[in-house]
Structure 1
Amino acid sequence: MQASDVTIRTTTADDWQAVRALRLEMLRDFPIAYGETLEHALDAGEANWRLRGARGETEGQTSFVAIEGSRWVGHMGGYIPDATSGPMLVGVYVAPDHRGDAAGVARRLLDAVEDWARDYGTTLRLEVHEQNPRAIRFYEKLGYTLTGRSREYELAPGGLELEMIKPLR
């Protein structure tokens, strides 16, 4: 697999079945990264999944996916929590067999979210669980820094969500 074999695009409401399948994959792979339980996601109905898919075409939020052939292999989203905090990166996932610098999937997805975020602010913010050192290293390598701010992670096993930011040029 090469990065050029992967298409990056936004999601639509009609993508709801693929959005659901990828989200369930995400939650099974690294449950503490998404602020949602697998049980909650399994109980969500079609209308909920259509709304999630529509994030890719809704003002003030976005949802990008990486697709190789017909397989969805990654996701990153963004939204504007409020007028003062600016854009926030959420829902970061790349399938295990598409991870790493050589694959380039995570970098391409992040580039897409950063391009989107420039329309809404000068800084992109994210939260990452303290027990996810691989993600922290990835973000640091691409210019994100820890702010020193954190908040309690609301689901089991608890812990802290660490805030990171990156100035957008």
Structure 2
Amino acid sequence: MLSDVQIRRVQEDDWRTVRDVRLRALREDPDVFGSSLAREELFAEPHWRMRLRSAATWVVDEDGTARGLVGMIQEPGSPTSDRHVVQLWVAPEARRRGMAWALLDAVRDAAQAEGAATVSLWVVDGNHAAGDLFVRAGFVRTGERHAQTRDASRVEERLVLRLT
């Protein structure tokens, strides 16, 4: 299933790869992210490098082509024992083959290595595929909800995975 696939943690010098995958994600699935394509297309190299310095980021490569990514941060205002999933995305042609699971595994493993007790994320209402994936991966819906930052008419719910 994932024989030609590699999950790799990227570094600051991989900024072009991360930029390209992120912009593709925003182009193809604009309604599921808290940011917009127009905003992130304006980011220059220093911004992308700063992002990679401030967030652990993994890319999933298939046959040498980046097909998805995920990031992990310590979200401001959250407990220091929590790590937060950001920008999880897999290209449409690569979905339903375990890549999102592998990216979530990378986050979970890194969070555990850092001594975190939980991993959390926000999923926008209507993104049923992502919500179902997270629940199957062990995340629990908290009922904590808020309006999406860039579009107050959309609502997100927080899900949490307890690490053992």
Fold conserved (TM > 0.5)?
A: yes
Partners of 1:147 and 1:163 within 8 A in 2 = yes
What's the counterpart of residue 150 of structure 2?
155
Partners of 1:11 and 1:54 within 8 A in 2 = no
**Amino acid across the alignment from 2:44:** G
More moved, 129-138 vs 26-35: 26-35
TM-score by length of 2: 0.91
Residue 73 (str. 1) matches residue 72 (str. 2): no
TM-score by length of 1: 0.89
Deviations 1:107-164 (A, max 9, x none): 1111000011112421111100012011001111111111010111022373111000
What's the counterpart of residue 98 of structure 1?
94
Distance change in 2, residues 1:120/1:80 (3 Å): farther
Residue 138 (str. 1) matches residue 138 (str. 2): no
Q: Report matched runs for 1:1-150 at 5 Å.
A: 2-55=1-54, 61-82=55-76, 84=79, 86-100=82-96, 103-118=97-112, 119-150=114-145
- Unmatched 5+ stretches in structure 2: none
More moved, 4-13 vs 156-165: 156-165
Partners of 2:18 and 2:69 within 8 A in 1 = no
Partners of 1:27 and 1:38 within 8 A in 2 = yes
- Unmatched 5+ stretches in structure 1: 56-60
Superposed structure 1 runs of 4+ greater than 6 Å apart: none
Deviations 1:25-67 (A, max 9, x none): 1101111222111011111111111222334xxxxx3101101
Identity %, equivalent residues: 30
**Amino acid across the alignment from 2:129:** R
- Give the alignment's Cα RMSD to 1 decimal: 1.5
Aligned residues: 161
